[in-house]
Amino acid sequence: MSWQHVRISRFGGPEVLELAEESTIPNPGPGEVRIKVLAAGTGFTDSFIRRGRYPDFKGPLPFTPGYELVGVVEKAGSGVVAPREGQIVADLCVVGGYAQYAIRPARFLVPVPDGVDMAEAVCIPLAYLTAFQMLTRYRRLIPGETILVIGASGSVGTAMLDLARHFGLKAIGTCSATNFAAVERFGATAIDYRAGDFVASVRKLTESRLGGAGVDAAFDAIGGSHFDRSFACLAPGGTLIGYGSQTMAIGHESIIAAGLGLARLKLWGALSFLFRGRRALWYSITDRRLSHPEDFRADMAALFELLRNGAIHPVVTGREPLAAAKNVHARIDAGGLGGKIVLLPWPASQLVA
C-alpha cells in the first residue's frame, strides 16, 4: 500500500515543499510506535525550520516537516507498554508531522481524550502548551493582572489570549489593524503595532494601575532588539518572557542580533534589582520537554481536559490536504492568519474510528 508525505530536500521558501509517495509502510522499532496521522499542525516554526534557520534542527536532508501531530497508534514496537494500539495520541515531534504515517518514540506520546475535534487537538502540543507553560510555570499570574502578547493574532498569540481569558487575566495584544477582530474576540485590547509606538499605547492603557503603569507580564517571540520595547512595557515587578527569534528566522536580523537579544534577557534577569524588580526569562518548549518531561505530559493532559470540557477554543482557520502544504506555508509567511491551519493527511473515506 502506498502512502504520502511532504518532503524537503533543500532549505528555502515554500516552493521546496514537495509531495512524495512511498510504496512501503514503515514498521516501528523497539520503543517506537507507528502512528496513522489524523491531523498535523502548521505554523511559523515549521517555516523557520523550512528556511534552515531553526537552531534545534539543521537536517539531515531530505526530511518531512511538521512540528506537531495527532493520530492513532496503528502498531507498537517491542517493549512498548503504552500507548496501546488503537489509542489516539498527540506528539510534539519537531519534524515528521506532514505525513500519513509517522514513527515516533512512545515515551513522549500523550493520550487524546475521546470526543474532541482532531484539528483543534493538534493545536495543543505546540501553541497551547507554549502559552500554558509560560503562564503557569514561569510567572504565576493572579486573576485581574494584565499581560502583553506580542504578535497576538498568531497561533501562540491566540492560544495565549484564550488561556488568559480562562485564567481571568486582562490582555493587550499587538497585531496589524486587519487582525483586530482575531484579538478582540478573546476580550483582549488590540494595538496596531504599525501605527506608532506600542510602548506608549501600553503605558497609557495601564496608567491607572496601582503601583505604576505597565503590564505584569509580556510575551515576545520577535526577539533581538524587539525585546527592548517589550521590557519597556513592564510595570515594576513585571516579567518579560522571550520565546522566539522571528526577526532572525526571516532574515531581518543577524544571528548576532538575536544573540544580543538573549544576552539582554539574561542581564535583566540577573540584575532585576536595578530595574525596579523587572526581570526577564527565556522559554524553549523543546528544552523544557527534555529537562521536565513530567511537566510536559501533565500540562498536555491538563490542556486536553480543558479542550474536552469546552473551556478553551483553539482557532482553526483552515483544514487542508497534504498537497496544499506549499500554499499553506505561503500564507504562514504572509502572516496574519488569526489562528492555525491544519493539514488533514487522509481523505475522510480512509479514516478509521
Q: pLDDT digits over 60-70, tens only? A: 999 999 999 99
Residue 224 located in a structural domain: yes
Co-location of 76 and 29 in the same domain = yes
Dist. CA 143–CA 186, nearest whole Å: 15
Co-location of 135 and 261 in the same domain = yes
CB 229 within 8 A of CB 205: no
Interval 264-297: pLDDT, tens: 888 888 888 888 899 999 999 988 988 998 999 9
Co-location of 81 and 195 in the same domain = no
Co-location of 112 and 166 in the same domain = no
Res 349 pLDDT > 80: no
Co-location of 76 and 30 in the same domain = yes
Top-confidence residue, 336 or 246: 336
Q: What is the structure's pLDDT at 353? A: 43
Residue 256 is part of a domain; what is its CATH number?
3.40.50.720
Co-location of 173 and 240 in the same domain = yes
Q: Domain boundary at 266, 286, 306, which?
A: 286
Co-location of 112 and 74 in the same domain = yes
Q: What is the structure's pLDDT at 250? A: 59
Res 58 pLDDT > 90: no
Over range 124-129, report the average pLDDT. Answer: 96
Q: Domain boundary at 286, 302, 331, which?
A: 286
Which residue range(s) make up the domain with 275?
126-286
Co-location of 130 and 177 in the same domain = yes
Co-location of 110 and 246 in the same domain = no
Give the count of domains, the chain.
2
Dist. CA 123–CA 318, nearest whole Å: 12
Residue 132 located in a structural domain: yes
Residue 91 located in a structural domain: yes
Co-location of 145 and 278 in the same domain = yes
Res 98 pLDDT > 60: yes
Q: Give the strand pairing for 189-192 and 170-175.
A: parallel
Residue 292 located in a structural domain: no
Burial 159-185 (b: 16+ CB within 10 A, else e): bbbbbbbebebbbbbbbbeebbebbeb
Co-location of 146 and 65 in the same domain = no
